[in-house]
Amino acid sequence: EAQVTQNPRYLITVTGKKLTVTCSQNMNHEYMSWYRQDPGLGLRQIYYSMNVEVTDKGDVPEGYKVSRKEKRNFPLILESPSPNQTSLYFCASSTYSGQGAYGYTFGSGTRLTVV
């Protein structure tokens, strides 16, 4: 089954404790992206990657890191989480062409709470 798999689904952590949210896709998609979703603000892009070893900042990259060492994986790293990073996080992937990324397939989401 074609899918984007995120782990964990739920995470409660303390301020400053490094964490990684994993994302993996099995569709051989070139393009992968991380979003956070907050009430009233919608989905905001954190980072995206157009292929292996190619990443770029989205609209809200502060406090986050990513890497794309393999085509299928795109982990999101919070080196020192803070309460304002409490949010619902989505990983997404898509094919990519001259017109940009096509429709995304989203993962199931990770609800992160930082206390």
Partner 1 sequence: QKEVEQNSGPLSVPEGAIASLNCTYSDRGSQSFFWYRQYSGKSPELIMSIYSNGDKEDGRFTAQLNKASQYVSLLIRDSQPSDSATYLCAVNVEYGNKLVFGAGTILRVKS
Give the residues lining the site for partner 1 (CB under 8 A).
33, 35, 40-45, 48, 50, 56, 58-59, 90, 96, 98-109
Q: Which two tokens stand for residue 39?
A: 């009430």
* Distance separating alpha carbons of residues 4 and 28, to the nearest angstrom: 11
Pairing of strands 10-13, 110-114: parallel
**40/115 with CB nearer partner 1:** 40
Min. distance of Cβ 80 from partner 1 in angstroms? 26
* Distance separating alpha carbons of residues 111 and 70, to the nearest angstrom: 25
Residue at token pair 């782990």 = 7
Min. distance of Cβ 22 from partner 1 in angstroms? 16
**44/71 with CB nearer partner 1:** 44
Min. distance of Cβ 84 from partner 1 in angstroms? 19
**48/81 with CB nearer partner 1:** 48
Q: Which two tokens stand for residue 87?
A: 């949010």
Q: Are 84 and 16 contacting, i.e. CB atoms less than 8 angstroms apart?
A: no
**14/41 with CB nearer partner 1:** 41
